[in-house]
Structure 1
């Protein structure tokens, strides 16, 4: 051990390129000794200097701060103004309803803002295992939070790595890094230094990273980064910095709220100026402004937005997509780019043997994944290989030279290296009963896989002695083979032919392993000479993490909908390209962009690459985040899928983060807006359709509600200009807005989707809830509503001289207009005469209920007193209904013109 030092280290230990150093140099820089470790004095100093080995959790906002933050929104200001107005008018029930809406929105916002802190807490839980270390020359177990840089750590199978470490001794160490890097295969670790600069974590084969899991083997390592300095900690820091990304719907609602607020302010000033010019009494001016404000505020809009989104949540849940925040329902409907992880999302995350070369023939397997079903076939004919064939011996070597738990595979709960599980399954498909063969050919000794050898071997009992079974990299196994087994006969091996077949299989994105055997009298594998003698090559097995069969159709469907699908993975470039081309992601064969290349690109250069490349391989978490960020900067609405810790920053930064429910980590789920309960990319396509339906219904509801507001505004403005009495009082406007409209707008939220909605191109990202064309229609409908209402008001006032009667007729006219107009709004493009009236039964119920409620207001005594109404005559009703039908004629004419122009509004 070196002499004690005054400071724990004299270099920035967290930024050292550890993978480029020798193990001796790593220990020297960390100021530790590989045999004795640190002293207690060293540990105390370093713990004080570096702090505990844990990821810092943000203090975050207090509950009160988060709650107050929910009220800093233009739409909320308008709602509060509406509540105040209704309170002044002593309409306490309506005031209470509006305040309840404000509270509901605050609760939803509170839940969303709390997600970032939840993601950090999940990361913190991941980094809290125990650690086996050497201190003062003794092996002891410590809480991982007490681990410090320079500690000598012992790693063993099944343990979780507690910090970032440089491996200094390894015996068959294999680590599952999929949660951190996205790498689908277990990584074989070694001790040798790597000279290539700027390697991503997935390529640092002599490092072990915090949060990953040791699947087999043993190792000794020196801890070099702890806490926030680890790769896991850097991801946590990135998630903290990103914060909350507003969804497009939230931005559109904010924008709409500001427009409504400005409109109310403008009209209030206009009416006040007109009143002053007309020498109106100040009290009358105030009453007029209040009536105008009440008419302009769509009180029911926030409620119906929440209801529409909640209906979407329920529909998506039925299609295996679990929504964690309401605004996320719509975001998928407006998505222009989906950035998908590969492993477990586009693929099964279950290695599967696809091709077997033996007996100079190529065989194929059926079925994918770990289930013990399927067959082996040649040219479409099912094969049951005889025991003496090369095919049978290839399968036999694959299942015996294998450390994956056989019992677990047979019980349907496989454990171990995915490659070795795949070899067990392929053997079963060839007729080998796994447990039985293990009993018949008892394992006497085994040699684990090591990167230097590139193969593993087992020694098994045989009827006439012992047999060594070997599996490994084709070039390594081939070097030891003199013969090849072909149809039960030993023939000289043809190395060039074997290499050619191996390359052909690898070119298809398959991971290729070779199998061989030899008889021996040795009872141990310690004598390495027995591994260098003449083996018999039995064949090759090529495997892949197969594409989910339904994903190909789902990707094609997304592309037909105008949505670009890109793959962002930590896996090897060859594997990524092979899978990407199977999915149709690279039709022009631009290939893939690797993380180490992306690292060197400026933002402008990356933007150019993003315009043509759809496959990104060997990327780190910061690369994935950067890709998402650049796509957002380019104006795209971005959805990102992922399941690992490495995906958390991108999930948080995207407009919509989509996590896997089955295989996903807690960190990924907490950072996401939506969870796929079936881990299936195809579910996203279903969710896209539901999202588009939700936005279409939101647009319908908004148009319906604002039509009334525009009509009422025009009525009040013209009445003031004409110096007429107001056609409605404020409480009558509230009745129209909150009660009659309030039933019908909810019914619109239940509208089924428009035919072919999934085949439409995504809406332009900057397009608001109200398009220019829809605002034209809004103005036209508002004029029809205003003209009809003013006309009936003036006519009845002239006929009867009774202001209450005229106001009752004007209010009823607006209600009847809405009865007809809600039918127009069932589709913003199709004729109402082509829509089955009973396809939305709730709409029928709402119309009956609204009509019943309005008749009660006209005929029930105490309601007549509250709303200042009176019964209408049959002649008056007939005139009102006739005028009301004009809104349908106008709507049909406008839709016809729109269809002729081939423009879609809804």
Structure 2
């Protein structure tokens, strides 16, 4: 005989398995023995890394080592300002990396905060309070409303006990608990109604349970273990920059050595060529690249804050920009996390209820969208009274004031909150929309007693005094409530509840339930003067059925458009939720998540799948329902194995492992737990899925800007190297002296490159497919553009040098003028080329004045160039001399040809069209459900 699972055992079997008497609890001696065996009831944080080690780890990166080498070279050349700048860059990057990693490792500490600090247990036949970390398997724990469950317990006794488990299971509303065994061996966490899990909260009633798992063996402990085992992914940007750095070092040093050797072979002095070579190496390696990337990302972070997204890790914005799949939790992310009554059924009529959230503003409408007249509708009026009075929740209004904008008076806006059970709160809001408030009824009705909801009756009733008589108002699960009803309110009259009418009610209930609505029935009766109501059986008999209410946690209204925008951008949206399949499917269909041909998988199906099976289906699956934290992690890893860059959103503890494992983890700022926030890279301060779309757009724009200034810097550096290399190969004098090479590097690589980092995105950015996770930084013809423009810049700079030098090749003064012309040509060619880098097509396809920061940066660079050429004290330092009109004519023509010739060619050919998202194939899919009875 197979051993039963904890949830399959009855109370006697449970006590026997754990060797405990449920009426007296463990003895203190036995509890101490078990504590030595099982250890403290706490979550371990795993192996800790010291802050010093974390900080030192930041300096092992390849690009950091390159920067250190550049620092040494700059110091040897006497360029102390450059050396100090590079050291500052290294230190700032190290501090930023340290802060990010240190904050990320606080996930487990936040998880530990969810553990209860103390627990009431039965030991030695006495109820005592002990620290929760002293609990052991077999302890009998007593819990009441407001208590946090201190360990995984199996309920042995419950009294109207509801537990809030959304952070662990994703369940939208508190779950009613019971003590009865469950026959199924394999069952999702959300359906284990006879279990209480560590870290969840009792919201109503009382209960007693026996501890079956403690510490790292609990469901919360499993999540802690998953977080420890999950390694944070290296972002695509980090990978590409490391790859780029290695390429640049090898190429730049190789070409520099060749320049030096060629110069010496053609009779140039060895010392001068060595200085020129070192200067060329410093100029060729863009040591400012990490700083510009950091600045671009930091400015992107500031823009994201304005768009309600808080970035905890700088590269995360760029990573989100190449996301191909967004895995989103349902409750509170795609939906409002506010149970709302959307439909009612009364006497054969299906009514709709408008309005969203807890704000008591809305209308009750018939099929023709005509508002129902409450005064003349007895059934509706009665249903509203039951909704308001057979209820322990309340609706409260608060206020928050927004900061005044320019010339706008400060305004206060109200916020509405529910105090109590969300399901009951939805009924209070419904009644308030019809003008029936608890406050207006309190003077007319007086509660005599309450018969609270329990998991067996699945009903709640109240006994009320009204106008000298008494009433019973009841609500509950329709199937259970109908058994107690002998009459029905139909067309304004109380008539016998015939079999035909009963079938109509059941059909209406089934239709609403299929649409994923949580359905409650409403009934009442008048208490006769001679009746005595002693218990619920006396109260809940011969009831008059009034109608049904259907409620759901509604989707956020802006999410559908956001998902549609993601689809146009080639990004797949996947819903992963702990909620039931029916609810998940209905929400997914409303939001347009499931595409034709798409699939829905449940946690039970995932359990029976191998990783290979999941990999085969993951691309075609859009919704996962009734899943556990382990399932979420499997889904994310499966998508990553298929080559996707995965963004994972969520707000609960159960989302934390998958959030950390994803390429970018996104947590909810309002409803999110500390655990999910600490595991994330991005926090949405408004809990709004549409903010993710803004982040994607920002991320794509930042990455394209990084590509723009890489294109600019490297094409410029290729031009500088080739100018020197070709000159040495042809036996020319040096076209640029070392100080001029360094000055070109300073003038052109600084402000213009930074201005490209804040450039506006091109209009069709969000119509592109996501770039591949393994895409090379030089992909999409970027490498060709760098090489071709670099060659043209180098050739035309050398041509300007030769045209000036040939006037008098043997004159030292003419050589200085030729070097000045080459110097000016190189600078101007790069400053013209920077505008070409703004477009994927050509300089003529974008307004060159649009980026005013770039215009100012270029003007400032031109001023610095003119200063070196025309200020007499600077001329001996930089080996320059003033240029005349002929010189400037040569300079400007040679500088403009590389950019304008290529631009004219692009215009004549119409420009290379940018790739757009391919139309997705459509085929039959899961049918959406219509609410009709």
TM interval, short-chain normalised: over 0.9
Instruction: Please tell me whether the aligned partners of residues 8 and 183 of structure 2 are also in contact (alpha carbons under 8 angstroms).
Output: yes
Partner of residue 517 from structure 2, selected from 497, 510, 517: 510
Q: 1:770 corresponds to which residue?
A: 778
**Aligned partners of 1:200 and 1:596: how far apart in 2?**
7
Q: Is it true that 1:870 corresponds to 2:881 in the alignment?
A: yes
What does 1:405-416 align with in structure 2 at a 5 Å threshold? Answer: 405-406=394-395, 412-416=416-420
**Aligned partners of 2:625 and 2:288: how far apart in 1?**
48
**Aligned partners of 1:87 and 1:226: how far apart in 2?**
60
Q: 1:576 corresponds to which residue?
A: 584
Q: Is it true that 1:400 corresponds to 2:389 in the alignment?
A: yes
Partner of residue 178 from structure 2, selected from 190, 197, 200: 190
- TM-superposed CA distance for 1:616, in Å, is 0.4
Q: Which moved more, 1:388-397 or 1:657-666?
A: 388-397
Q: Is it true that 1:471 corresponds to 2:475 in the alignment?
A: yes
Q: 1:306 to 1:590 in 2, by over 3 A?
A: closer
Partner of residue 338 from structure 1, selected from 326, 340, 348: 326
What does 1:199-278 align with in structure 2 at a 5 Å threshold? Answer: 199-268=187-256, 270-271=258-259
Q: Is it true that 1:370 corresponds to 2:370 in the alignment?
A: no
**Aligned partners of 2:559 and 2:296: how far apart in 1?**
29
Q: 1:5 corresponds to which residue?
A: none
Partner of residue 811 from structure 1, selected from 812, 816, 823: 823
Partner of residue 858 from structure 1, selected from 861, 869, 877: 869
Partner of residue 848 from structure 1, selected from 859, 866, 888: 859
**Aligned partners of 1:555 and 1:473: how far apart in 2?**
34
Partner of residue 564 from structure 2, selected from 545, 552, 556: 556
- TM-superposed CA distance for 1:474, in Å, is 0.8
SS at match of 2:595: coil
Q: Which moved more, 1:171-180 or 1:607-616?
A: 607-616
Q: Which moved more, 1:32-41 or 1:698-707?
A: 32-41
Instruction: Please tell me whether the aligned partners of residues 134 and 140 of structure 1 are also in contact (alpha carbons under 8 angstroms).
Output: yes
Instruction: Please tell me whether the aligned partners of residues 259 and 724 of structure 2 are also in contact (alpha carbons under 8 angstroms).
Output: no
Q: 1:12 corresponds to which residue?
A: none
Q: Is it true that 1:821 corresponds to 2:825 in the alignment?
A: no
Q: 2:50 corresponds to which residue?
A: 62
- TM-superposed CA distance for 1:822, in Å, is 1.0
**Aligned partners of 1:468 and 1:165: how far apart in 2?**
36
Instruction: Please tell me whether the aligned partners of residues 116 and 243 of structure 1 are also in contact (alpha carbons under 8 angstroms).
Output: no
**Aligned partners of 2:802 and 2:51: how far apart in 1?**
55
Q: Is it true that 1:385 corresponds to 2:374 in the alignment?
A: yes
CA offsets, 1:477-533, max 9 Å, x none?
Answer: 111111101243111221111010111111222111111112225898653431452
Q: 1:444 to 1:591 in 2, by over 3 A?
A: farther
Q: 1:444 corresponds to which residue?
A: 448
**Aligned partners of 1:453 and 1:429: how far apart in 2?**
29
**Aligned partners of 1:322 and 1:337: how far apart in 2?**
20
Structure 2 gap ranges (5+): 399-413, 918-933
Instruction: Please tell me whether the aligned partners of residues 248 and 637 of structure 1 are also in contact (alpha carbons under 8 angstroms).
Output: no
Q: Is it true that 1:882 corresponds to 2:893 in the alignment?
A: yes
**Aligned partners of 1:490 and 1:589: how far apart in 2?**
49
What does 1:648-663 align with in structure 2 at a 5 Å threshold? Answer: 648-663=656-671
**Aligned partners of 1:388 and 1:776: how far apart in 2?**
76
What does 1:277-296 align with in structure 2 at a 5 Å threshold? Answer: 283=271, 286-296=274-284
Instruction: Please tell me whether the aligned partners of residues 824 and 891 of structure 1 are also in contact (alpha carbons under 8 angstroms).
Output: no
Partner of residue 165 from structure 1, selected from 153, 172, 176: 153
- TM-superposed CA distance for 1:191, in Å, is 0.7
CA RMSD of aligned residues (A): 2.4
Q: 1:264 to 1:21 in 2, by over 3 A?
A: farther
Instruction: Please tell me whether the aligned partners of residues 122 and 667 of structure 1 are also in contact (alpha carbons under 8 angstroms).
Output: yes
CA offsets, 1:117-142, max 9 Å, x none?
Answer: 11111111122432121122221222
How many residues are matched?
Answer: 891
- TM-superposed CA distance for 1:265, in Å, is 4.3
Q: Which moved more, 1:306-315 or 1:891-900?
A: 891-900
Instruction: Please tell me whether the aligned partners of residues 474 and 540 of structure 2 are also in contact (alpha carbons under 8 angstroms).
Output: no
Instruction: Please tell me whether the aligned partners of residues 58 and 117 of structure 1 are also in contact (alpha carbons under 8 angstroms).
Output: no
Partner of residue 316 from structure 1, selected from 304, 317, 328: 304
CA offsets, 1:195-231, max 9 Å, x none?
Answer: 2122221111111111111110100011122222211
Q: 1:9 corresponds to which residue?
A: none
TM-score by length of 1: 0.94
SS at match of 2:333: coil
SS at match of 1:837: coil
Q: 1:524 to 1:722 in 2, by over 3 A?
A: farther
Q: 1:414 to 1:498 in 2, by over 3 A?
A: same
Q: 1:72 corresponds to which residue?
A: 60
Instruction: Please tell me whether the aligned partners of residues 165 and 175 of structure 2 are also in contact (alpha carbons under 8 angstroms).
Output: yes
CA offsets, 1:851-906, max 9 Å, x none?
Answer: 11222222345544443333333321221112111122233146448855424699
Q: 1:433 corresponds to which residue?
A: 437
Q: 1:160 to 1:858 in 2, by over 3 A?
A: same
Partner of residue 348 from structure 1, selected from 336, 349, 352: 336
Instruction: Please tell me whether the aligned partners of residues 172 and 449 of structure 1 are also in contact (alpha carbons under 8 angstroms).
Output: yes
Q: 2:921 corresponds to which residue?
A: none
Q: 1:538 to 1:226 in 2, by over 3 A?
A: same
Q: Is it true that 1:176 corresponds to 2:164 in the alignment?
A: yes
Partner of residue 758 from structure 2, selected from 743, 750, 753: 750
CA offsets, 1:59-105, max 9 Å, x none?
Answer: 43222222222122222222222111111101110111111111222
Q: 2:7 corresponds to which residue?
A: 19
Q: Which moved more, 1:277-286 or 1:304-313?
A: 277-286
Structure 1 moving runs of 4+ over 6 Å: 275-281, 408-411
Structure 1 gap ranges (5+): 1-14
Q: 1:685 corresponds to which residue?
A: 693
Q: 2:626 corresponds to which residue?
A: 618
Instruction: Please tell me whether the aligned partners of residues 727 and 735 of structure 2 are also in contact (alpha carbons under 8 angstroms).
Output: yes
Q: 1:899 to 1:259 in 2, by over 3 A?
A: farther
SS at match of 1:501: helix
Q: Is it true that 1:520 corresponds to 2:527 in the alignment?
A: yes
Q: 1:118 to 1:245 in 2, by over 3 A?
A: same
Q: 2:409 corresponds to which residue?
A: none
Q: Is it true that 1:839 corresponds to 2:843 in the alignment?
A: no
Q: Is it true that 1:480 corresponds to 2:484 in the alignment?
A: yes
Q: 1:298 to 1:507 in 2, by over 3 A?
A: same
- TM-superposed CA distance for 1:276, in Å, is 8.1
Instruction: Please tell me whether the aligned partners of residues 348 and 504 of structure 2 are also in contact (alpha carbons under 8 angstroms).
Output: no
Q: 1:16 to 1:475 in 2, by over 3 A?
A: closer
Q: 1:733 to 1:282 in 2, by over 3 A?
A: closer
Instruction: Please tell me whether the aligned partners of residues 516 and 537 of structure 1 are also in contact (alpha carbons under 8 angstroms).
Output: yes
**Aligned partners of 2:886 and 2:866: how far apart in 1?**
16
Instruction: Please tell me whether the aligned partners of residues 192 and 206 of structure 1 are also in contact (alpha carbons under 8 angstroms).
Output: yes
Instruction: Please tell me whether the aligned partners of residues 346 and 681 of structure 1 are also in contact (alpha carbons under 8 angstroms).
Output: yes
- TM-superposed CA distance for 1:155, in Å, is 1.1
Q: Is it true that 1:146 corresponds to 2:134 in the alignment?
A: yes
- TM-superposed CA distance for 1:418, in Å, is 1.1
**Aligned partners of 1:359 and 1:311: how far apart in 2?**
60
**Aligned partners of 1:897 and 1:572: how far apart in 2?**
58
Instruction: Please tell me whether the aligned partners of residues 55 and 227 of structure 1 are also in contact (alpha carbons under 8 angstroms).
Output: yes
Q: 2:927 corresponds to which residue?
A: none
SS at match of 1:641: strand
Q: 1:114 corresponds to which residue?
A: 102
Q: 1:905 to 1:203 in 2, by over 3 A?
A: closer
CA offsets, 1:670-716, max 9 Å, x none?
Answer: 11111111111111112211111111111111100111111122223
**Aligned partners of 1:898 and 1:351: how far apart in 2?**
57
Partner of residue 347 from structure 2, selected from 354, 359, 383: 359
